[in-house]
Structure 1
Amino acid sequence: MAINLGWEQEPLLDLLGSLNLEIYGVHANDGYYKGIRYHDLLVADPRDLPRLLLFAQKVRPDAVISDQCDYSQFAQAVIASRLGLPGPSLRDAQIGNSKLLQRTLGWQAGLACPCFTLCLDAQDVLRFGREHGYPLIIKPVDNRGSFGVNRVDRESDVAPAFYDALIHSHSRGVLAETFIQGRHLTVDGYVFQGLGPRTLAVATKTKLPQKQSIIDGEITYPGELPPALYDKASAALERTAAALGFGFGFLHGEFILTDAGEVYLTEIANRGGGVFTSEIIVPNVSGIDILSVYVNDCLGTPLLPISGDPNHPGRTPTVMQLFAFSDLQEGIVKKISGIDLLEAREDVLRLKMLIRRGDVVRGIASGADRHGVIIMTAPEPRELKRRLSEALAMLQVTIEKRDAS
C-alpha cells in the first residue's frame, strides 16, 4: 500500500512498479502518477485516517510505504501499527509531525534549539518578544512547506504573523521562537536496522529573497564547510535522531550553523526530504541505494540488493536549484524555452517545471509556490557551479505583469 503518488514520489513508485507486487495506491486527488499500474486506488486526503484505515483493512497489505510527506508518513505509521506491519512507530510519527514535541524533547535532551513558547494568542507572542527581543520566528505547530511561517521584526507585525500561523496549524497551535542568525544547513540520513541513525549527506543552502528569506532557493551538496564543521553538522543529525528516539526510515534535518560554530536544530522529519531529496539527491551524493534499503525495510525482507556503505557515504557534488522567476505579485507566463536542451544534458538528474504557458503566477508565499526545480551533478564543486550557471542561462521564462483591472 503506497500513500501519496505525486511527482516527488516518481522514483520510488517506478522502483515499486518494477517489482512483482500488487500496488494499492492512495492519493489526495486524480493527479496521481500514472507511470505504473495500481491494483486498486483510493482517492482520499492522507489526513483522512478513517478512510485510509478502512481501505487498508479491506486490502490487507503486506507492507505500507510513503515518502516526502509528513501527513502520509503519519498515515503510514497508523496503518503499520494497526495491522502489525514494518514501519515507523506512532511515537516517531507524532514527534516528526509536531514542532512543539521536537522542541520540548530537544530541550530535555540538551540539544541546541532556539528558545520557544507555545502561543495561545497574539498576546503570548508579544510577551515572548518583550522577553527575548526581535526578530522572532512564528510558525504552526504542525504543517509543512513553510506554510504559515513568518519572520517578525517588530511588534506591529505580530498579529498578522500569528493569525497566518494559526490558520495553517492543523492543531491550531502556534510557536514563537528566537531567531538564530547563521548559515542554513540540510542534513539527510537514515535509520539503518542494526546500525541506528547515520548521516548520508550534508548541504549548505541559500534562501529565496521572497518572504523575508525563509524559503529555500539553492541547496548544495556536499556542504561548503570546513571539515570540522561538516562533521559537526553530520553528528548533529545522528545525535538529534537518537535523542528523539527515531527507529525507522529516512531522516531529514534542518539546522542553523552560527558564526560561533554552534549547530542549532530548526526541525527534523522522520521521512525523506521533499523535491526528490531522498529519492535522487541523497543516493547520488552518498552512493548508497537508499530507496532499496527503505523498500526492504518496509517489506520486512531483503528483496532488493543494496549498494554502498552507510558508515562511509560518498560526497558526490550535487545541487538543487529551486526556481522563482518573478518578484511580481501577479503575472501571466507567456513563454518557457530551453527545457528540451536541459533535459538532454547528462549532468541534469531531474528538471521539473511547476508552471506552464498561460499560468497565472503570484507572489511566493510558501515552498509550494516555487516555479520549478533543477537537480544537477558534476565531478567537483567548482565545475558544478559552472554547469549550474550555464544551465540556468539556457532556461528562459517570460512573465508578463497582469493588468490590475
Structure 2
Amino acid sequence: METLLYVNIRGYKVERLKPIYAAKKLGYKITLLADKDPGLDKGLIDDLIIVDTYDIEASVQASIEYAKNHSVAGVLTWADKDVELVARIGEELGLRTINRESAKKARNKYLMRDALSQIEGLCPKYRHVLSFSDLQQAVKEVGIPGIFKPVGGAGSKGIFKIDENTNVEETYRLMLETTSPEEDKTFSYYPNEYIYEEYLEGPEVSIDGVVQDHIVYMTGVADNLVSEDYSLDYMEIFPSEKDDETIKEIKRSTKTAVKELGFNDCSFHLEGRVTKEGFKMLEVAARPAGGFIASHVIENASGISYIEFIIKVAVGENIQDSWPEFDKISNQSVCHYEVLANEEGVITNIRGLDDVMEDEDVIFIIPVKQINEEVVLPPKDFESSYLATAIIRGKGYSEVKKKIDRLENKLDYTIQ
C-alpha cells in the first residue's frame, strides 16, 4: 500500500481528521511529519516522524530517509506555514508539488503582489515595508485607509487597518510585537517584513480549487465576512449568491492570478473583494482553505469530497474527466461560522450548547474556549476571541442568517 506524507495537520479538532479519513477511503497509508505528536486515536496514522518542521533542512532529510524504505505517493500540507517545505520535499522525492519559486511567491505577500502587478486592475496599490520610515512613506503614497500586514502571515494574525485616527507609530510597535518570531515561530520565515496596501471597499469572497497539468479547476465562490478592525474571519458561506456576471469575473481573475504565479500540482485558496471597480485580489495561498471550508463546507453543500480531489492531484491521478462543478450541483447553502467574544476576561460559565444542537441544520458546533479560560481581544491576541465554531446549512443566505441569529441567542458565554 502506498503512503501519503502529511506535513502537519490543521489545528482544529474534527477539521484536522478529514484529510486522514479521505486518504484512508482512497486506499492510502498516512505518515505524519510533525513537530509533536498530535495525540490522535490509534490507527488513524500509520507512521509518525517527529521533527522540527521550522527546520527545513532537517525536515527534508527526515523525509528522504523515510522514503528510502517506503513508497511515498504524494506529500501535502494543510496550512500556509509548510507550503515551501512541501515544495522542497516534493523536489527531493520527485513528487507532484508546487515548484519552489511559486511556493515562495505564495508565502510572501510582497513577492506575490510584485508577480501580479503587471495584471491591470487585479491588485490594490501596495508598498514594501521594512522599517517605520517605510511605513510612513507607504501611508503617504498609498493613502488611507490601508491595510498593514506581515508578508508571511497566516490565519488573519497581525492585520491592522490604518485610518485617519490611527497612531501609525503605535501600530508599527504593535506589529513588531505581534509578529515576533519569539512569540510565534510562524513569523520566523520572513521576520520584520511587511506590506502596506490600499484598503478595498466591498464584500469579501473566496474561491478554492486545484491546478493539475497547468489546468485550473475551481470549486466555486464563497461569500465571506471578516471583522472590520482586524480582519478576523468569522463566516464563509458556499456557494456564493453573487450574480452570474460577478461570479464569472471572479473565476476569470482567479485563473489569471494562479497561472501567473506558476501554481501547478497543488490546491489553492484565493481571497478578494468585489469593489465598484470590479474584482480585486487580496491574496492567494497554495494550500487548501482552512475554516472548515475545504473539509466540511464544500462537501456538505455539494455532497462530494473536495479533499479527495486534492489528494488525487498530489498523487498524479488525472481529474480532468471527474472534476465536478461543486457550486452548480450544490442543493443547499452551507456556512462556517465563528462565535466571537466582544469582551475580555475569564469564562465562568457556558450555557446553551445542547439547545443549539437541537437545530437539525446545525451540523455541528465545537467549543473553542472552555470554562476558566481567559479571553483576550485583538490586537493583544488575534486568536483568543474565538469562542466556538459551527457548521450550519440552509436554503440560501437569509435562512442561514436566521439560524445564526438563533444560535447566538441560545449560546451564552459568561465572561468576567
| TM class by smaller structure | 0.7 to 0.9
Counterparts of residues 191-270 of structure 1 (less than 5 Å): 191=211, 193=212, 196-208=215-227, 212-258=229-275, 260-270=276-286
Are 1:147 and 2:157 matched, yes or no? yes
Aligned partner of 2:8 in structure 1 is 4
Counterparts of residues 259-298 of structure 1 (less than 5 Å): 260-298=276-314
- Sort the Cα spacing of 1:310 and 1:389 in 2 relative to 1 into closer, same or farther, 3 A: closer
Aligned partner of 1:360 in structure 2 is 374
SS at match of 2:349: strand
SS at match of 2:335: strand
Letter in 1 for 2:7: I
Letter in 2 for 1:281: V
**What is the CA distance between 1:70 and its match in structure 2?**
0.9
**What is the CA distance between 1:390 and its match in structure 2?**
2.4
Distance across 2 between alignment mates of 1:227 and 1:244? 26
**What is the CA distance between 1:108 and its match in structure 2?**
2.1
Aligned partner of 2:75 in structure 1 is 65
Distance across 2 between alignment mates of 1:187 and 1:33? 30
Are 1:158 and 2:161 matched, yes or no? no
Aligned partner of 2:183 in structure 1 is none
**What is the CA distance between 1:11 and its match in structure 2?**
0.7
Residue from 172, 178, 194 that aligns with 1:174: 194
Letter in 2 for 1:270: A
My pick for the range that moved more, 364-373 or 118-127, is 364-373
Conserved? CA contact 2:90–2:96, under 8 Å: yes
* TM-score computed with the length of structure 2 as normaliser: 0.85
Conserved? CA contact 1:188–1:200, under 8 Å: yes
Conserved? CA contact 1:140–1:175, under 8 Å: yes
Distance across 2 between alignment mates of 1:397 and 1:312? 38
Counterparts of residues 44-83 of structure 1 (less than 5 Å): 44-60=51-67, 61-83=71-93
Aligned partner of 2:206 in structure 1 is 186
SS at match of 2:383: helix
SS at match of 2:221: strand
- Sort the Cα spacing of 1:371 and 1:48 in 2 relative to 1 into closer, same or farther, 3 A: farther
Distance across 1 between alignment mates of 2:339 and 2:54? 29
Residue from 118, 123, 131 that aligns with 1:108: 118
Q: Which runs of 5+ in 2 are unaligned?
A: 180-186
- Sort the Cα spacing of 1:367 and 1:226 in 2 relative to 1 into closer, same or farther, 3 A: farther
* TM-score computed with the length of structure 1 as normaliser: 0.87
**What is the CA distance between 1:176 and its match in structure 2?**
1.4
Aligned partner of 1:335 in structure 2 is 349
Conserved? CA contact 2:224–2:236, under 8 Å: yes
SS at match of 1:268: strand
Distance across 2 between alignment mates of 1:302 and 1:182? 37
Aligned partner of 1:98 in structure 2 is 108
Conserved? CA contact 1:30–1:43, under 8 Å: yes
- Sort the Cα spacing of 1:325 and 1:132 in 2 relative to 1 into closer, same or farther, 3 A: closer
**What is the CA distance between 1:184 and its match in structure 2?**
1.6
Letter in 1 for 2:54: R
Q: Percent identity?
A: 20
**What is the CA distance between 1:220 and its match in structure 2?**
2.4
SS at match of 1:11: helix
Give the root-mean-square deviation of aligned CA atoms.
2.7
